[in-house]
A and B are shown apart, each in its own frame.
Chain A
Amino acid sequence: MGKKKVTRREFLKDTAMVTAAAAVGPHIFVRKATAASNKKLVICSYGGSYQASQRKAFFEPFMKATGVKIVEATGPDLAKIKAQVTSGNVEWDVVDIESRIMYTAMTENLLEPIDTNIVKLDTIVKPAIHKYGIGNIAFTTALTYNKKQLKKAPKSWADFWDVKNFPGPRSLQDHAPFNLEFALIADGVNKDKLYPLDIDRAFKKMSQIKGNIDAWWESGAQSIQQLTSGAVVMSSAWNGRVNVAQSKGVPLEIVWEGAAYDWDLWAVPKGTPRKELAMQFIQFALNAKRQAYQCGKLIAYGPSNKLAYNYIDKARQKQLPTYPDNLAKQFSFNSKWWQPRLNKLNEKWAAWKIS
């Protein structure tokens, strides 16, 4: 009773339908894929709240404006870019990568040069312009602290090293880049005269704080989690993530003094069959109003298009890495200096850590 009895006829009908779908399915898929291959664009970015902001500000409007279907991927791993390019099977048409990664990819010959006939650069700030990638947003790695955990507010990296006046466990990212710069600034080196880095001096300074670093963070989420839970009282962290946590009511504070800013860039892996469309997307995403929407409303990073500031309100501007007052306090991270030294310094970093 109540149960629907499946008749033999119905059963046969269903089975036939499934079988037919299974048989026809692949063909439909193949035909669609070939027909739309020029109308599809695969973009790989860093995920999380960052990619969500790109989806709203760039991906969805681009799909609407052009009818192109954007397929998203997450985690623009350098090894995957290399595997795709060297095997001649490029899946990602556009990648969002940090400048360090761009330099390595560039030396390995994994990127297409930016086509300046399509991508217009006249309103893009100079440091964002490279032959193989165009800056999309500037992000800052800054000393960040939890106001509830500290009685006094730290003002600089020197305070991060001062465990007497600012007691409590700390955290830093688990790699040499950025940290060696921070150590030198704490040791009194002028932030405009950091490069070439005095490696020995930096490691000597790092040794002073090693015992107070409770955790070496691996992912951006980890740094925020530790600061939020009070597991550490201060840490280096990315400003956009801090901003998102602040907007949720977490009492975090950024110290712009001595922070490092760096670029996330749009780049195109070598050999993509949709190169032109990829360039068109980059041009689309560099638009001032769209960048203003992303950085002004969605995530507090610094737009690369100068005109974007015209559309961002004053209060919000003060939270961005590229706001003149903030910019003056920071140094520009030098990926070019790091790229050829990365391996050697990583070995030194590992040896220093386990010693």
Chain B
Amino acid sequence: MNRTHHRSFKAILFHPTAKGMLLLIPALTALIILFVIPIYRIFHLSLFDPHFTLKYYLAFFQRPVYMRVMWITVKISLIVTAACLFVGYPFALVLSRAGEKLSKLFIVCIILSMCISLLVRNFSWIIILQRSGIVDTFLMKVGLTHHHVKLLHNLFSVVLGMTEILLPYMILPIFSVLKSIDPNLPQAAQTMGARPWQAFWWVTFPLSLPGVYAGFLLVFIMSLGYFITPALLGGAREMMISNMIAFQVQTVLNWHFAAGLSMILLIATLIFYAIFNKAVGLEKLENLGV
């Protein structure tokens, strides 16, 4: 009895049939109620007021400020993603080669850091970076500078703040891919005469690319929707499109235009996704083994 039951479960899992599809129903229901319907409603809101109109989309293209803010949003997101990659990859590499206990400890630390409120982390950066703050005072005391250094409310502080928050989303996928690489492979390369860096560059790195792609995509897409960090740590020029959406929702109550802006952000994100897919082939992510 038990055995047949077990087998049929296995059969469903590995040979998707009509019956197997049943397993998808709970997930699909949740997805439709919590994701598809709300997005459809936002889409509808952006096009009907109360009759069909394109004016909210036209407004985006007619008034140059929205295009410019969109460009700033993409630019900041790209810089943050690159920064996460440069910091995250070496970190994940060291972590994947560290002992079991140490790497577990670090993973727990990384995940715990995600539990701290975003606002608390942003305000901490303000205290650290502000004029007469910890860093500024230190630099002046040491004598590296005699004037106050402007570390806060510029592109630097925004990138720093966002990188610190988004770093786990880069480290974790890279780490999990690196961990799944057969350690014999780079070793084999070295027995064949490759130097350690050559073994890394020609063997380990190419094999870890799926993790890099996943991390890149996660961080970039999450960055596009950011607005609290740029608002708190940024200066005049670090304005992101979500700021404008929030203003339409909360202050002027123009939900149609807010919906239009949101759809444009969503479409832009999908376009980036498509370009990315074309360039690297996201089917590679299936090997991720997460």
- List chain A positions with a Cβ less than 8 A from chain B: 77-79, 82, 104, 108, 169, 174, 210, 213-216, 218, 222, 225-226, 229-232, 342-343, 346-347, 350-351, 353-354
Binds A, one of B16-24, B178-186, B231-239, B275-283: B231-239
Smallest beta-carbon distance A39→chain B, Å: 32
User: In the complex, A82→B249 CA distance in Å?
Assistant: 10
B131 within 8 A of A: yes
Residues of A within 8 A of B133 (CB): 229, 231
CB contact between B130 and one of A79, A174, A218, A226 (< 8 Å): that residue: A226
Contact of B251 among A216, A218, A346, A354 (CB under 8 A): A346
Can you list 16 A-B pairs with a CB-CB distance of less than 8 A? A78-B253, A79-B250, A79-B253, A108-B253, A215-B152, A226-B130, A230-B131, A231-B130, A231-B131, A231-B133, A231-B152, A343-B254, A351-B68, A353-B236, A354-B68, A354-B239
Decide: A350 near B65, CB < 8 A? Known: A104-B253, A231-B131. yes
Mask, B206-232, CB within 8 Å of A = 1, is 000000000000000000000000011
| Smallest beta-carbon distance B63→chain A, Å | 6
For the complex formed, measure the closest distance between the CB of B230 and the CB atoms of chain A, giving whole angstroms: 11
Instruction: Beyond the given A214-B150, A231-B132, A346-B252, please list 12 additional residue pairs across the A-B interface where CB-CB is below 8 A.
Output: A77-B250, A78-B250, A78-B253, A79-B249, A210-B236, A214-B153, A218-B231, A229-B127, A229-B130, A342-B251, A343-B248, A354-B239
Contact of B253 among A82, A225, A230 (CB under 8 A): A82
Q: Which of B59-93 contact A (CB under 8 A)?
A: 63-65, 68-69, 72
Is there contact, CB below 8 Å, between B239 and A350? yes
**A354→B250 contact, CB < 8 A:** no
User: For chain B residues 235-261, which have a beta carbon within 8 Å of chain A?
Assistant: 235-237, 239, 244, 247-255
Separation in Å of the B22 CB from the closest CB of chain A? 31
**Could you tell me the distance between the alpha carbons of A77 and B252 in the complex, rounded to whole angstroms?**
11
How many chain B residues sit at the interface, stated as a range, is: 20 to 34
**Which residue of chain B has the shortest Cβ distance to A177 in the bound complex?**
B251
**B253 and A215: CB pair below 8 A?**
no
Q: Do residues A213 and B68 form an inter-chain contact, with CB atoms below 8 A?
A: no
In the docked arrangement, what's the CA distance between A215 and B151, Å? Answer: 12
Contacts of A82 in B (CB 8 A): 253, 255
Instruction: Chain A residues near B65: list those with CB within 8 A.
Output: 347, 350-351, 354
Partner of B237, one of A226, A343, A353: A353
Q: Which residues of B contact A104 (CB under 8 A)?
A: 251-253
A343 engages B68 (CB within 8 Å): no
From A230, which residue of chain B is reached at the shortest CB distance? B132
The residues of B that contact A78 with a CB separation of less than 8 Å are 250-251, 253
Cβ B131 vs Cβ A174 within 8 A: no
Interface centre among B133, B152, B236, B252 (most CB of A within 10 A): B236
User: Which A residues lie within 8 Å of B244 (CB)?
Assistant: 350
In the assembled complex, the Cα of A171 lies from the Cα of B213 at a distance in Å of 41
Contacts of B130 in A (CB 8 A): 226, 229, 231
- Which B94-118 residues sit within 8 Å CB-CB of chain A? none
In the complex, which residue of chain B has the Cβ closest to the Cβ of A171? B153
Using an 8 Å CB-CB cutoff, how does the interface string of B124-135 with A read, 1 for contact, 0 for none?
A: 001100111100
- A169: which B residues are within 8 A, CB to CB? 131
Measured CB to CB, the nearest residue on chain A to B232 is A218
Give CA–CA (A23, B81) in the complex, Å. 50
- CB neighbours of A216 from chain B (8 A): 153, 235-236
Q: Which residues of B contact A108 (CB under 8 A)?
A: 253
Cα A159 to Cα B76 in complex, Å, equals 35
Per the 8 Å Cβ criterion, residues 143-170 of B in contact with A are: 150, 152-153
When C-beta atoms are compared, the residue in chain B nearest to A233 turns out to be B131
- Identify which of A214, A225, A343 contacts B252 (C-beta below 8 A): A343
For the complex, what is the distance from the CA of A79 to the CA of B250, rounded to whole Å? 5
User: Which residue in chain B gives the minimum CB-CB distance to A349?
Assistant: B65
Query: Please, how many angstroms separate the alpha-carbon atoms of A104 and B132 in the complex?
Result: 41
A354 and B232 contact, CB distance less than 8 A: no
Tell me the complex Cα distance, A226–B68, Å: 29
- Complex CA–CA separation, A179 to B46 (angstroms): 32
Q: Are B251 and A351 in contact (CB under 8 A)?
A: no
Q: How far is the CA of A58 from the CA of B227 in the complex (A)?
A: 36
Contact B252 A342 (CB under 8 A): yes
Residue of A nearest to B243 (CB): A350
Q: How far is the CA of A222 from the CA of B63 in the complex (A)?
A: 31
Q: Which residues of A contact B63 (CB under 8 A)?
A: 347
* Complex CA distance for A157 and B260, rounded to whole angstroms: 39
Contact check: which of B235, B247, B248, B250 meets A215 at CB < 8 Å? B235
Bound CA–CA A231/B123 (angstroms): 13
Closest to B148 in A: A169
